[in-house]
Structure 1
Amino acid sequence: MESDALFELHPSGASWHRRRRVGFDLETTSRFPAEARIVSAALVTCDPEDSGSPRVREWLVNPGIDVPEETVKIHGLSTDYLREHGQEPAEAVGELLAALTREFLAGTAVVVMNAPYDLAVLRAEAARYGFEFPRPSPVIDPLVIDKQVDKYRRGKRRLHDLCGVHGVELAEAHSAAPDALAAVQVADCQAEKYPELQMPAQQLHDLQVVWKADQAEDFQAYLRRQGKTDTVIDGSWPL
C-alpha cells in the first residue's frame, strides 16, 4: 500500500526525527515483563545540534537473581559476570528512571522498539524498588509504525529484520546500546521514506495509540477465523 493512502497528513517542518531523540533499550532475564529483571540498559541520544552525537549512556546491572541460560545465549551476560561487574539494581534503575523522566518531561521523542515490553519491564522494576514511573510520552515505536506503513510485507518484524529493510547496520544485536541506536536509525528511515510520519513527536505518539489498537483488533479477528477464539490480543500502547 502506498504511503499516500495511509494518512491524509502533510509533512511538518517540526518533525520529531530532525530534533533531539533518544533511543532506549533493555536486555533482561526473561521475555515475560512481570518477571524480567534488567541486566543492561542504554539511552542513546541523537541530536542534530550536538557535534558529539550520538551520545551513549549504559548501565550494566546485577539483577540479584540467576540469569537463565537461554537468555545468556541471547545477550551473553552471565550471572557470575553481572555479580562481579554489575551495578546494584536499585541504584541503576533509579538512575535510568531519572534520565528517562527528564527526556519525557522535555518532550523528547524516546524511540523504543516494541515499547510495551521494555516499558513494562522498567515499570515493574520501578515498583520493585519503590520509584515513581514517569508518564511514557512521547514514544516512537518502529514496530508499530512498520505494521502501519508496510502492513502486507511478508516475514518477521524484529529489529534485525527492520534494519535489513531500511539498510541500517546493526552491530552486536541483542546488546542494549547498538539496539537503541539502530531503533533510532530505523525510525529515522521510516520518517524519510513515509513523509506523512514527519510531525511533532506527541502527535505521532497519539496516532500510534490508535494504530496499535487497530492492529491488535485485526490480528485477533484473524486468529478467530483460524478457530482460536479464546486468544485475546492486548492493543494497549505504549503500556
Structure 2
Amino acid sequence: MSWADGPLLGFDTETTGVDVDNDRIVTAALVRRDHTGTHVHSWLINPGVDIPEAAAAIHGVSTEHARTHGAKPKQALEEIAAELAQAFRDGVPVVAYNATFDLCLLDAELRRHKLRTIPERLYNEARPVIDPLVLDRAEDGLRRGKRKLVDLCGFYEVVESGALHTADVDVVATLDVLERIVGRFPHLASLDLDTLHEYQSTAHQAWAEGFNAWRLEQGLDGPGVSDVWPTREPVGTLW
C-alpha cells in the first residue's frame, strides 16, 4: 500500500495578490480524495479589504461579490485550519501546488485574526506536504518551458473539470497532475511520507539556490526566492 493510493487532501487558495505576508484569502478549497471518491469543501471569504481588479480578473471574485456573499474571515479561516490540522494529525498528506504560497499565506491570515497557525495546532511543523511543482522540477528539471499549473496540465494531459484559478478546480487538477507525475516516476510512490517530504525540501532548496544564482548572473534586482519549503516565518506586521 502506497501513500499514492490515498487518502490525500488537496488545498488551494485564490487571493487578493501574491504577497504571502500581507494579501488575503478570497476563496479556498479542500478536496479529499480517497477510496470513496473525491469530496470538495470550498469557501468564499470577505477578505475585509478591496480586491484589486487585476486579482478579480484572474479568479472572478469582485470586492462587491465577496462583501455580499463571503463568510467572515475569522470563521472561515478557523474551519480551514481545523481541517488541515486534523489531516496532518491523521498522517494524511496535504497536496498543494506551490505549497509555500498557500501554506504561508494561510498562517499569516491566521496570525492576523489571532487564530492559531497550523504548526501551533500541531505543536510541530506542517507535514507531510506533497507539492507537484517541486516534484516535477526535481524529476524533470531539464525540461524547458513554464511550470504553472496550466502548463503541467498540458504536459501531463490532464483535462480540467472547469476554469483554472477557481480554487476547487485547481485542487482537483493538482491531484490529477500528481497522479500523472507518480505514474511517470513510479519510484516516488515507494517512498514513505517522511522521506518524500524531506526529498522535496532538499530539492526545492537546490532549485532555489540555482535560480537565485541565475538571477544574480542576469543582474536582476530583488531578493529572489526563498529556499525554505513548505513554510517559513512571516515578515512584517501582518496588519
1:189 to 176, 180, 185: 180
Q: Which has the higher contact order (CA 8 A, sep 6+)?
A: 1
CA distance in 2: counterparts of 1:204 and 1:20, whole angstroms: 16
CA distance in 1: counterparts of 2:179 and 2:206, whole angstroms: 23
Q: Is the 8 A contact 2:14 2:25 kept in 1?
A: yes
> What is the DSSP-based 3-state SS (H/G/I as helix, E as strand, rest coil) of the residue aligned with 1:42?
strand
1:157 to 147, 150, 161: 147
The aligned counterpart of 2:235 is none
Deviation of 1:229 after TM superposition, in Å, equals 8.2
Q: Is the 8 A contact 1:15 1:201 kept in 2?
A: no
Q: TM-score, normalised by structure 1?
A: 0.90
User: Is residue 203 of structure 1 aligned with residue 187 of structure 2?
Assistant: no
The aligned counterpart of 1:11 is none
Q: Supply the AA of the counterpart residue of 2:227.
A: G
1:96 to 76, 80, 85: 80
Give the direction of change, closer, same or farther, for the CA distance of 1:233–1:72 in structure 2 (3 Å limit): closer
User: Is residue 173 of structure 1 aligned with residue 164 of structure 2?
Assistant: yes
| 1:1-239 matches, cutoff 5 A | 14-48=1-35, 50=36, 53-134=37-118, 135-170=125-160, 171-198=162-189, 199-228=191-220, 231-239=223-231
CA distance in 1: counterparts of 2:77 and 2:222, whole angstroms: 36
Deviation of 1:227 after TM superposition, in Å, equals 3.8
CA deviations on 1:43-102 (whole Å, 9 max, x unpaired) are 001002x1xx10000111011111100000000001111111100000000000000000
CA distance in 2: counterparts of 1:69 and 1:139, whole angstroms: 32
Q: Supply the AA of the counterpart residue of 1:136.
A: A
Q: Supply the AA of the counterpart residue of 1:163.
A: C
Q: Is the 8 A contact 1:212 1:236 kept in 2?
A: yes
Q: Supply the AA of the counterpart residue of 2:140.
A: D
Q: Supply the AA of the counterpart residue of 2:181.
A: Q
Count of aligned pairs between the two proteins:
223
Q: Is the 8 A contact 2:215 2:224 kept in 1?
A: no
Greater CA deviation, 226-235 or 16-25? Answer: 226-235
The aligned counterpart of 1:7 is none
CA distance in 1: counterparts of 2:213 and 2:82, whole angstroms: 40
CA distance in 2: counterparts of 1:172 and 1:38, whole angstroms: 19
Deviation of 1:132 after TM superposition, in Å, equals 1.3
> What is the DSSP-based 3-state SS (H/G/I as helix, E as strand, rest coil) of the residue aligned with 2:138?
helix
CA distance in 1: counterparts of 2:39 and 2:150, whole angstroms: 22
- List alignment gaps of at least 5 residues for structure 2: 119-124, 232-239
CA distance in 1: counterparts of 2:150 and 2:218, whole angstroms: 29
Greater CA deviation, 109-118 or 218-227? Answer: 218-227
CA distance in 2: counterparts of 1:225 and 1:89, whole angstroms: 42
CA deviations on 1:4-34 (whole Å, 9 max, x unpaired) are xxxxxxxxxx422112001100000011111
Superposed structure 1 runs of 4+ greater than 3 Å apart? 227-233
CA deviations on 1:190-235 (whole Å, 9 max, x unpaired) are 1111011112223211110100011111112222333448754311
CA distance in 1: counterparts of 2:221 and 2:148, whole angstroms: 26
Q: Is the 8 A contact 1:63 1:89 kept in 2?
A: yes
- List alignment gaps of at least 5 residues for structure 1: 1-13
